[in-house]
Structure 1
Amino acid sequence: MNSANVSHLRAEDILSMESLVRRNFVNSLTGFKSVTLIGSRSLEGVNNLAVFSQVIHVGATPPLIGVLFRPHTVSRHTFENILATGSFTLNHFTEKTVLQAHQTSARYGESEFEATGLTPEFNGSFSSPYVKEGTIKIGLELVEVQTIKANGTELVIGAIKETLVPEFCIGSDGFVDLEAAQVVTCSGLDSYHSTNKIARLTYAKPGKIPQRIDKILSH
């Protein structure tokens, strides 16, 4: 690597950055991330909506998803609603609603649904609101909360109770085609992206060259 073309920063260099610059820099380093709208509802019946990019797969048996929250040093409605009611939803969205989704990160004193023009939608007896304009939706029940000692962030782990996925997005092997659903992704704190699939590849084994799964399934 030609060092003349590379910015070599050490930990002390990063820590000395201006706060906003440091947040943008570090948040961008981890690459493209899942971005979803989290729907929740207070005990008083106020619907809440917030965009989150710190969402991770925790396990498939049982099906678990984790969401990382910033330290609970100020009022955080989504986190507080989840603790109070024990449920929340994840809602993937498309390019059509990127502006509204991003706007949910503003500090509103009212429901973000009303403030942004997005529509709350309820499914049966599940208490937390989905986003009607969403494309792939997941209903979760709170399982546990882990506090990260290094910086005080909170890892909320939810069990999947139900999913709402367009049938045409679900492959014969269970793979969910997010690109077919026009789901967007993000990088950093405020950059949204569409995707372009390169390939799905077979399970890697020593001495065996991976094959393209999409070609195998099409035969």
Structure 2
Amino acid sequence: MILSKQDISALSKVARLKLINAITGIKPANLIGTISAEGHPNVAVFSSVVHLGSDPALLGFIMRPQGEVPRHTYENILATGHYTINHILPSFAERAHYTSGKFPKEVSEFARCGLTEAYIEGFQAPFVQESSCKMGMRFEEAIPIPLNGTTLIIGAVEHLILPETVDIHQEVFDLEATESMGISGLNSYYTLTKYAEYPYVRPHNIPDFDV
């Protein structure tokens, strides 16, 4: 099957949305927690979190266009300068999914979807208690993407909260062991199974592949 740009444009809005959202493969499944200047907590599911650099430790995520519907996450980040990123696990994936509903700003998705707010001293934004891997983020920059009206939100990692069983000195961070999940499209959730582990690649250690 070969689809041209015209073929893709001719698809129904829903079919096109589902196809293009899924075609990149499995994406990280995270909940982003924020709190408004008035003290209203918010949490919402995102699948666009991406690594931007390790020194300094920077992560980004994509915020959909403003104006279509209120973007409480974005408003809260701008108001307070902080937010959290929390891995989604099978034990609460269904509850996490329903945070994507369009709730009024004064309604807490934590309370409505059966999730628990957690805080650490000196950090304003709420973490998701049920998550095994949590990141406390400081807002650094918002980069508009004129092509489609989205915005790249860039944040610096200020806190990491990890399971006690994780050995941070190992070469590989084992996502299967943390039970972290992935998302395809808008509503398909996947567990992660480690397939293989390969060495850091240098020219001298590349095998002679029989091709």
Fold-level match, TM-score > 0.5? Answer: yes
Report how many residues are paired: 204
Residue 7 of structure 2 corresponds to residue 13 of structure 1: yes
Q: Within 1, Cα distance between the matches of 2:171 and 2:200?
A: 15
Q: Within 1, Cα distance between the matches of 2:163 and 2:96?
A: 20
Aligned partner letter, 2:170: D
Q: Which residue of 1 aligns with 2:194?
A: 197
Q: Which residue of 2 aligns with 1:216?
A: none
Q: Which residue of 2 aligns with 1:26?
A: 20
Contact 1:169 1:178 in 2 (8 A): no
Distance 1:174 1:122, change over 3 A: farther
Q: Within 2, Cα distance between the matches of 1:207 and 1:162?
A: 37
Classify the secondary structure of the residue corresponding to 1:157.
strand
Q: Within 1, Cα distance between the matches of 2:186 and 2:157?
A: 26
| Unaligned residue ranges in structure 2 (runs of 5+) | none
Q: Within 2, Cα distance between the matches of 1:170 and 1:42?
A: 35
Contact 1:51 1:105 in 2 (8 A): yes
Q: Within 1, Cα distance between the matches of 2:204 and 2:122?
A: 51
Contact 1:170 1:177 in 2 (8 A): no
Cα deviation, residue 206, structure 1:
2.4
Cα deviation, residue 62, structure 1:
0.3
Contact 2:89 2:180 in 1 (8 A): yes
Q: Which residue of 1 aligns with 2:203?
A: 206
Q: Within 2, Cα distance between the matches of 1:54 and 1:131?
A: 18
Distance 1:176 1:199, change over 3 A: same
Encode CA deviations 1:153-173: one digit per residue, 9 max, x unaligned: 000000000000113223433
Taking only aligned residues, the RMSD between alpha carbons, in angstroms, comes to 1.2
Identity %: 41
Q: Which residue of 2 aligns with 1:188?
A: 185
Residue 144 of structure 2 corresponds to residue 150 of structure 1: no
Encode CA deviations 1:87-116: one digit per residue, 9 max, x unaligned: 000011210101000000011121101110
Residue 76 of structure 2 corresponds to residue 81 of structure 1: yes
Residue 154 of structure 2 corresponds to residue 160 of structure 1: no
Residue 44 of structure 2 corresponds to residue 50 of structure 1: yes
Runs of 4+ residues deviating >6 angstroms: none
Q: Which residue of 2 aligns with 1:120?
A: 117
Contact 1:37 1:49 in 2 (8 A): yes
